[in-house]
Each structure stands twice: as structure tokens, then as C-alpha cells.
């Protein structure tokens, strides 16, 4: 029961802060015409509609938590032990060294991006699009021709199979005719 009494005391203290010494609301009092939730929803709607067409402001609002972290200066106010500070420095040192290597590599490769050919890419985009469309059309035609060619080879195989069987039958018939026409040797 002590925890309930503590909660009631804290609630009474909060009501005193919110309502001051004026009349404290009771359960029997009628609800106000506009509740706090309605007011907050209305304010949120107005803010959202005001920010809907402002890209820079939206980007700033999205980064507010990050900006608040920078303003809080949380690393200056915290008391870290020397060992923890040293570990943070070591972890950050490795990361910074990797980023430094990447930056040096980018500086080495930067002249490759300054080529005149890369600067003319926007001018050549329509030609590249046309070539891509031509390639896709040629690919579609080649695919259709490939299907037709497979059908032709299928028919060719059927015809060759029929000719081979006919030749075998003809060979057997000629063999039978030659054996029948051959003079018979008298049996001794």
C-alpha cells in the first residue's frame, strides 16, 4: 500500500504544478470543449501542411535528433574512466585510419574522373538511349529468329529421320531383290 500512497502523493504534486493553486478538476467536472489531444492533433496537422512543400525544412526536421545530440555535448558531461576513454580512442583511431586510406585512394583516382569523355556523358545520353532501344529491338528480333531456327531444325531432323528410314527400307528391299535374283547354287 505504501507504493499506492507514494503514487497518489506524486500525482497530487504534479496536479499542483500543472493547475497551481486554482481549482483542481474532479472526476465529476464536465470535459472541456476542446481536449488537449484535439489541440495537439490540430497543431500537428497545421505544422505538417506548412512543412509539406518545404524540402529544406523537412530535411532539418528529420535531422533534429542528430542536431540535439550535438547540442547536448553528451561526451563532455559524462564521467568516463580512463580505460573506457582509451578504448574509445583506439576504436575511433582504427576507423579514422580506414577513412583516411579511403580518402587518399579517392584523391589518387580523382584524375580518372576528370577525363573529357566523362564530361560529355550528358550530351551523349540521347545517343546511348537510342542505342539501348536499338539493341533491345535487335535482341527481340534475334530471339524470334532463334525460335524460328529451332523450329526449322526440328523439321529438318524429322525429314532426315524419314529419309534415313526410307534409305534403310530401300537398302533392305534391294538386298532382298538381289538375293532373290541371284542364281541358286544346286545342292549337292
Q: Is the pLDDT of residue 95 over 80?
A: yes
Is the CB of residue 58 less than 8 Å from the CB of residue 51?
yes
Task: Give the residue-averaged pLDDT of 33-50.
Answer: 78
- Asked if pLDDT for residue 150 goes beyond 90, the answer is yes
CA distance 158 to 150: 12
The mean per-residue pLDDT over the stretch 156-181 comes to: 94
Range with the poorest average pLDDT among 1-5, 35-39, 175-179:
35-39
Q: Is the pLDDT of residue 148 over 70?
A: yes
**Mean pLDDT score across all residues of the chain:** 81
Q: 26 or 42: which carries more pLDDT confidence?
A: 42
77 — pLDDT class (breaks 50, 70, 90): very low
pLDDT at 173: 94
Residue, of 138 and 77, whose pLDDT is higher:
138
Q: Is the predicted pLDDT of residue 85 greater than 90, yes or no? A: no
Amino acid at each position: 500500500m505504501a507504493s499506492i500512497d507514494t503514487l497518489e502523493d506524486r500525482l497530487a504534486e504534479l496536479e499542483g504544478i500543472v493547475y497551481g493553486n486554482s481549482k483542481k478538476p474532479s472526476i465529476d467536472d464536465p470535459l472541456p470543449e476542446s481536449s488537449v489531444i484535439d489541440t495537439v492533433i490540430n497543431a500537428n496537422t497545421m505544422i505538417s501542411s506548412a512543412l509539406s512543400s518545404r524540402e529544406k525544412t523537412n530535411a532539418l526536421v528529420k535531422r533534429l535528433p542528430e542536431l540535439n545530440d550535438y547540442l547536448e555535448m553528451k561526451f563532455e558531461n559524462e564521467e568516463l574512466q580512463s580505460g573506457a576513454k582509451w578504448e574509445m580512442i583506439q576504436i575511433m583511431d582504427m576507423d579514422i585510419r580506414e577513412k583516411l586510406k579511403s580518402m587518399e585512394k579517392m584523391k589518387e583516382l580523382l584524375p580518372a574522373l576528370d577525363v573529357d569523355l566523362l564530361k560529355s556523358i550528358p550530351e551523349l545520353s540521347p545517343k546511348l538511349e537510342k542505342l539501348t532501344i536499338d539493341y533491345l529491338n535487335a535482341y527481340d528480333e534475334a530471339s524470334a529468329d532463334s525460335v524460328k531456327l529451332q523450329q526449322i531444325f526440328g523439321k529438318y531432323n524429322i525429314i532426315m529421320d524419314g529419309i534415313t528410314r526410307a534409305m534403310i527400307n530401300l537398302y533392305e528391299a534391294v538386298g532382298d531383290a538381289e538375293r532373290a535374283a541371284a542364281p541358286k547354287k544346286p545342292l549337292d
